[in-house]
Amino acid sequence: MADVRIYKQKKSAMQSGLRRTRNWVLEFIQPAHLYIEPLMKWAGSIKTNSEKQRLFFETSEMAIAYARSKNLTYFVENSSLIKVIPKRYSDNFKRL
């Protein structure tokens, strides 16, 4: 299992610009240490998502070099780019 995940940050649904989408992120993967809470029998965890650690790099090569220098196993998620084709408002009313 990999220690870190390297991916390119994607644009969120609430964002119209391209800010924070040019960086590559090296994110540490923490295994879930779940336990059953004795009173209510709920599943609990010692480590939560608030402890998630991320490092930002300009290129994927820089992130991979960092992971190799620290002897971390990693995997790279290739991002799929969606090309937006610009069109005019009048194109909505043209018949095919």
pTM above 0.75, yes or no: no
Q: Give the span between the Cα atoms of 91 and 84, in whole angstroms.
A: 15
pLDDT in tens, 35-81: 888 899 888 877 665 567 889 999 999 999 999 999 999 999 987 66
Q: Give the span between the Cα atoms of 81 and 90, in whole angstroms.
A: 26
pLDDT in tens, 4-26: 999 988 777 787 777 767 889 99
pLDDT at 49: 59
Q: The CATH number of the domain where 37 resides is what?
A: 3.30.160
Number of domains comprising the chain: 1
